[in-house]
Structure 1
């Protein structure tokens, strides 16, 4: 018989990890609420041209990593490789521009990239995503960074480090890209093949190259912040002013460009101590031209994404615990068929009263049922026997103290509510 296994790069989130997932998403929801962000969900699948146009035709994501296939009607569709393009499509299609600006939204869910699987990064992985649409004020950039900073602080990360850069805008970026090309072209024979390809297709991506041979060549490469137009330079200066006012430490990192073509002006990453070389836990930036590029009116925007698997792995790596999943308050045990019928009825009444309750299945011995209650971390066991049922009684056992008492069966629900 065929033994089925996970597809390469996909991952099962098993019980030991679920408390972490629950905790991260609960804190993400809490922080989003604190900052006034509203949840918006979009499909995991869109027409392929949306991502080609939005993410960038020459990017690794579009050329190598997207899960693209032909739908039954012949339409080319792709599983989303990121959230922003789909959210911008929803913004345009649903006329969300009529809502008060800035529109502040958050979402979470799976994204798909056919890239080399690595620790905390899978071909299907989930992200927490933040987007702010309709405002150019660099104070918005500072707030978006603060959302991420507060989330990671709430989760317990220490030694957080903020790296920022500006990638300019269509007015100044092309001239800088040409300077970059002019710098690297005479050095092209010293570049690895992958960076030679980047030089031809997307020169900015050389700046975040991880290739060893490229590193010494990057030392003397021109910095974009020295070639910004007046508007971009002022925007970047004001962002730094707001970060200084927040007493948020940051480093201008000239090599941050992010991997998507739509970024303009501010880009940033947040790193944490104790994670080794793979220390980035969040990245994002501004995309002021994206909505217009997708057929909407000129509308600025900024956002970030952070991988849930990456956060969970990082929490485990630095020893941050997550609260355990809630335990049931009670397990109802029984001896005999008459008692089992009463147990089924009692469990139903407990759940209707919003008390988490389990029923012992399988007609096992009382000792086995109590062991199951311990394993489930139940606080109490209610024990029903046929003689007790006839007498209108039930035994309630405090499992932590190993103490028990008999109470009227009709009073069990009220007793547990008060316990």
Structure 2
């Protein structure tokens, strides 16, 4: 019996992994420009962290977490998302005391959710996310959204749609909660069991139900926008103003409800408008989470962030047929003829690499014609040919694969001469 990969996971092979590396590289470059610093947290945490932060009424906690007991009887969970771990680290390491505030962080790594695998959705998936903790300024909400939009655009995506909403402050959400309970309670029996369980605990989560989204009460449900108090309205208006100042197009959708309990005020999603992308169009989601640091034992430190799936990022690039600059090729391929020449290229290859060049040689004892074909497949910029005669004469022939021009150089000064040819 052959052992196969677990359902809902994937192997990312050479030829495909370069797309991931390109996105990761671009994300790090942007974070440096926006002054976000990388944080790396454990892949598993105490289960209580996600119960208290993500919320026990969410699908993630109720149905999707990979939870297990260790040998000491402690309940641990593979992280299903990145914000809770980042905020836990912020509190545990007292980053709220750093001189530079707000604390601006980013993370990149695998997350785990037990859900039905489908196109672009896996049980182990990779998220890139940012968190800005320590500021209640609506301008940083706009900055976080701008960073996400900038990343997508820098990779060539154009068919994007930004949806924003306000979930209001605690007072606004409380008034909206009462209105939702009154709206749904008389007919809650017509809804799924999850919605029935959420009615009293967190009725806003009913609006995010996929099973009952076509129910007539969904369409007529009270809008959070109608229950925003003056402070929440002013805050949301500022966020919209800043987005306009940044020339970022957006649509206000009062029905946008993020799937995690810790959100308040600004909530947003970025979607793909590309034809053929699929029924689930969301690429990225995020929002403000004032109160989360207090929930896990820290001081008051308002925050905002987003997370995006790299798998869905790549699917969007493919849907828009974006041509990525992937096949960069290598700088030099060493072709050898004869046993002594082959032995000599072992050291020569290392010298090239240590000088900063990407280089390769033959390891299959192939004929010279096959070695040149291997150089072509490697998309080599130069081929350096060393035979027994050249070795005796202390020479090597360097050929430019673009122009076809050949140059004979001394082996003793090969690296210096190759550098001159490479830069010319």
Tell me the TM-score range normalised by the shorter chain: over 0.9
Matches within 5 A, 1:395-406: 395-406=397-408
State how far apart, in whole Å, the 1-side matches of 2:73 and 2:327 are: 45
Given the superposition, is the C-alpha separation of residues 256 and 48 from structure 1 closer, same or farther in structure 2, using an over 3 Å criterion?
A: same
State how far apart, in whole Å, the 1-side matches of 2:194 and 2:94 are: 41
Aligned to 2:350, the other structure's residue is in SS state helix
Aligned to 1:152, the other structure's residue is in SS state helix
Matches within 5 A, 1:279-358: 279-358=281-360
Match for residue 67 of structure 1? 66
- Given that 1:398 and 1:404 are in contact with CA atoms closer than 8 Å, whether structure 2 keeps it comes out as yes
Please give the per-residue CA displacement for 1:134-177, whole angstroms capped at 9, x wherever unaligned: 01111111111111111111111113221111112322212311
Q: Normalization by structure 2: what TM-score?
A: 0.94
Match for residue 122 of structure 2? 122
State how far apart, in whole Å, the 2-side matches of 1:170 and 1:130 are: 24
Please give the per-residue CA displacement for 1:252-278, whole angstroms capped at 9, x wherever unaligned: 111111111111111101123213432
What are structure 1's unaligned runs of at least 5 residues? none
Please give the per-residue CA displacement for 1:365-413, whole angstroms capped at 9, x wherever unaligned: 1111111111111112111111211111112223344443432222321
Aligned to 1:382, the other structure's residue is in SS state strand
Q: Normalization by structure 1: what TM-score?
A: 0.95
The root-mean-square deviation of aligned C-alpha atoms, in Å, is 1.7
State how far apart, in whole Å, the 1-side matches of 2:213 and 2:368 are: 69
Match for residue 137 of structure 1? 137
Aligned to 1:407, the other structure's residue is in SS state strand
Match for residue 57 of structure 2? 58
Match for residue 49 of structure 1? 48
Please say which of residues 65-74 and 204-213 is displaced more in the overlay: 204-213
Q: CA deviation at 1:325?
A: 4.5
Q: Runs of 4 or more off by more than 6 Å in structure 1?
A: none
State how far apart, in whole Å, the 2-side matches of 1:197 and 1:319 are: 43
Match for residue 385 of structure 2? 383
- Count matched residues: 418
Please give the per-residue CA displacement for 1:216-242, whole angstroms capped at 9, x wherever unaligned: 322211001111233222211221222
State how far apart, in whole Å, the 2-side matches of 1:403 and 1:242 are: 56
- Given that 1:51 and 1:85 are in contact with CA atoms closer than 8 Å, whether structure 2 keeps it comes out as yes
